[in-house]
Structure formats: structure tokens, C-alpha cells
Amino acid sequence: MSEFEALDFYLMDELLSDEQRLIRDTVRQFVTEKCLPIIEEHQAAGTFPTDLIGPVAELGMLGANLPEEYGCAGLESSTYGIMMQELERGDSGLRSFVSVQGALCMYPIFEFGSEEQRREWLPRMASGEVIGCFGLTEPDAGSDPGAMRTTAVKDGDDWIINGVKMWITNGTMAKIAIIWAQTDDGIRGFVVPTDLPGFQAIEVKGKYSLRASDTAELVLEDVCVPGDALLPKSGGLRSPLMCLNQARYGIAWGGIGAAQACFDEALRYAKARITFGKPVAQTQLVQELLTEIASEITKAQTLCWRLGELKDAGRARPEQISMAKRNNIEMARNTARRCREILGGNGILDEYQAFRHMVNLESVYTYEGTHQIHTLIVGNALTGLPAFG
């Protein structure tokens, strides 16, 4: 198969700086050379490609938009987004790993941590030495994280944490977990080393989706952490939701990458596949599908580009991020399915990427706020009338 070609119908490439183009091409090459040759094996085995952690860290992708003084790349939002787009062209599980490490673990330490916590953890997390996971969701509190039951109770200078967290990405390989818990003072965040007595990470088995990702249930039974495990500037549900803004932003970009992978594959296939004496790409119905897909990818690209500008200007509102996550992941999910269809019977084989992206995107559609929750967030912003309950 010849080199991947991204759809660029509206010449978005012209908007990129030389640095952004270089980073885009570097990550794209990394995905082509290091991720794609091994990803189907991991998908089949249900394992995360841990060999990619070192190279991903070396390329500066962990916490890439956090400041350089903590060992991070200090990139602007659009450049960070482009990285997520390219990674998810490889696999949603790989982008998830990077999102969780950067947006959901390093970001809260940066945003809510003390200077000591920042210096202790961020450089080691940027280098990939310390992997983190983010424990917000519980078996009975997913879309409604405010209903969480995990508690952290003060015991002298220490805290005792009890609870169960569900669906936690990077869960079994993490050295630290950012755990959100109810305290006398509302919801607070804690940096919890995962080797403490009473802490258990149990792999979630039987996944059809995001198989090349480490997903775990975390059980905390009387886990005792010192006072300085508390993220001192965290306070209320607002704090974890601020982390989600960061991750959802990257996911919106990531959806474009997954869609681009499927579109490129389907377009090549449609041009090469002959039925009734001509390429299937030369039929009106397939051209309609390709036109719809290309239009949706192009709209998603323009949405993300503007969102990146707003984010860099400090003006991106949570509901704008929700609109992008909602739109782009629905777009990617539909794209993967349509592309699978264009591949005919071959579309169900692991020689092609569409089916893997298609099943992965089921998770992406649901995590970081389900499609429906983002509908309600945007609906609330439009009407001023919350319809969650």
C-alpha cells in the first residue's frame, strides 16, 4: 500500500506553520512506521503496545501542551490537536493513552498541584517513566460523576480512600492514579501511587472495542495516602470537568485522524475494485458516499481549527468543546461504517483498518461524555435550561 494521503479539500495545510507541518509529518511517519505494522496484532491479542511509550515520549507527545519548564513541549493548542489527529489515524487506543497521560493526569497535577507535586511528577510523566490513569467514573456514576461514592477521609495528616473506579484507561500499567473522591470539603483530587496496600487494578476483559488499550477497574480499600497526595487547588466537580475539557479537545481532533485513515483506505479501494467492468468509485452511489464523507471530514477540520484558535486565546468555552467532540466523533463513527461498507466483504477483515476504527469509535462515542451528554451540554448552553435530570 502506498503512502497515506490525507484529505485536504479546503487546503487546510496552508494554515499550518512550518513547525506544525514538521510535527504533523513526524507524527504521521511515526504512526506509519511504528504503530500500523503492529496494531492489528495488539487488537487481536487485546494488549496495549507498550513498546510505543518510549518513542511517543521521545517525540514530546506526553503533556505536549504543558510548559517546557516541566519537561514538556509547550506546544500551542492547534499543534497539540494535530498530534492527536495523527495518533488516532493509527489507533484510538494509542491516542487514548496519550490523552489520559497528558490531559487527564499531567494537566490536573499542573493545574491543581503544588509546585512540589509539579516538579515531582511532570518531568517523569513527560518522559514516560511514570504512567498515570484518571479515576473519575464509577460503576454507578458514569454520565453523572457528581454521584460518585468514593470517599477520602482525613486521618491525622493522612487520607484514607475507599471506593471503586470503573473503565479506567491505562489502569493496570499506571504508577499513579488521579483519584477523585468525596471529602468533607466536596470532591477533591488525589495523586495515589498504585503500589500502595489496598490498591488493586483489575483488567477489564471481553472488550470488542479499544482492544489495544489498557482498561481496568480500580478497587481502593482503606488506601492510606499522605497529606501531600491531595491536589491542593482542586475543589468540586468543576476540577475533574476542567480536565475533561482538555481531553475532549484532543478527542475532537483525534476523530478526524480516524476518519482520514478510513477515507484514504476506502478511496484507494474504490478506485481499484472493479465490478460490472468499471471501478466501484465510478458509480454514482459510491461517489455519493465518498462526497458525504469528504464533506463531513472537511467540516470537522474547520471546526477544530477554529476551536484551537479560541483555546489558544483562552476563549474556548466547555460547550464549544462539547460541540466539537460530539460532532467529530459522530462523524468519525459514521465514516468508519460507511468506509467499511465501501470495502464490501473485505471490510470485515483485519487486513483493512476500517473495522478496527469502527469498533474503537464505539468507545470514543461513549467516553469523555457520551454523545447524548454532549447534546445536553450544548442544549443547556443554547437554552439556559439544563435537561440532565
Active-site annotation, residues: 368
- The alpha carbons of the chain give a radius of gyration, in whole angstroms, of 21
Q: Tell me which H or E stretch contains 303.
A: helix 284-312
Residue 155 Rama label (left phi>0; alpha psi -120 to 50; beta): beta
**Least Å distance between CB 274 and ligand TGC?**
40
Instruction: Indicate whether 237 belongs to the interface with ligand TGC (CB under 6 A).
Output: yes
Q: With respect to ligand FAD, which residue has the nearer C-beta, 2 or 383?
A: 383
φ, ψ of residue 53 in degrees (nearest 5): -65, -45
Judge contact between 229 and 304, C-beta under 8 A: no
**Binding partner of residue 63 among ligand FAD, ligand TGC, none, CB cut-off 5 to 8 Å per kind:** none
**Binding partner of residue 377 among ligand FAD, ligand TGC, none, CB cut-off 5 to 8 Å per kind:** ligand TGC
DSSP 226: -
Residues numbered 80-139 forming contacts with ligand FAD, rule: CB under 6 A: 100, 134-137
**Binding partner of residue 168 among ligand FAD, ligand TGC, none, CB cut-off 5 to 8 Å per kind:** ligand FAD
Residue count of the chain, please give it: 389
**Binding partner of residue 160 among ligand FAD, ligand TGC, none, CB cut-off 5 to 8 Å per kind:** none
Instruction: Indicate whether 54 belongs to the interface with ligand TGC (CB under 6 A).
Output: no
Residue from 83, 109, 210, 220 binding ligand FAD (CB under 6 A)? 210
| 223 to 171, 229, 255, 343, 386: CA distances (angstroms) | 16, 12, 37, 51, 36
Separation between Cα atoms, residue 166 and residue 145, nearest integer Å = 12
**Least Å distance between CB 363 and ligand FAD?**
4
Judge contact between 354 and 347, C-beta under 8 A: yes
Residue from 17, 221, 292, 388 binding ligand TGC (CB under 6 A)? 388
One-letter amino acid at 353 equals Q
Separation between Cα atoms, residue 329 and residue 332, nearest integer Å = 5
φ, ψ of residue 61 in degrees (nearest 5): -90, -10
Instruction: Indicate whether 234 belongs to the interface with ligand FAD (CB under 6 A).
Output: no
One-letter amino acid at 388 equals F
Residues numbered 333-362 forming contacts with ligand TGC, rule: CB under 6 A: none
Judge contact between 292 and 364, C-beta under 8 A: no
Separation between Cα atoms, residue 236 and residue 297, nearest integer Å = 37
**Least Å distance between CB 376 and ligand FAD?**
6
Binding characters for ligand TGC, 116-135, by CB under 6 A (x = yes):
------------------x-
Instruction: Indicate whether 318 belongs to the interface with ligand TGC (CB under 6 A).
Output: yes
Instruction: Indicate whether 150 belongs to the interface with ligand FAD (CB under 6 A).
Output: no
Q: Other C-beta atoms within 10 Å of 245: how many?
A: 19
What's the grid cell of residue 215?
482498561
**Binding partner of residue 372 among ligand FAD, ligand TGC, none, CB cut-off 5 to 8 Å per kind:** ligand FAD
Chain residues binding ligand TGC by CB under 6 A are 96, 99-100, 134, 136-137, 143, 145-146, 169, 236-238, 241-242, 244-245, 247, 318, 367-369, 373, 377, 388
Chain residues binding ligand FAD by CB under 6 A are 100, 134-137, 142-143, 167-169, 210, 215, 363, 366-368, 370, 372-373, 376, 388
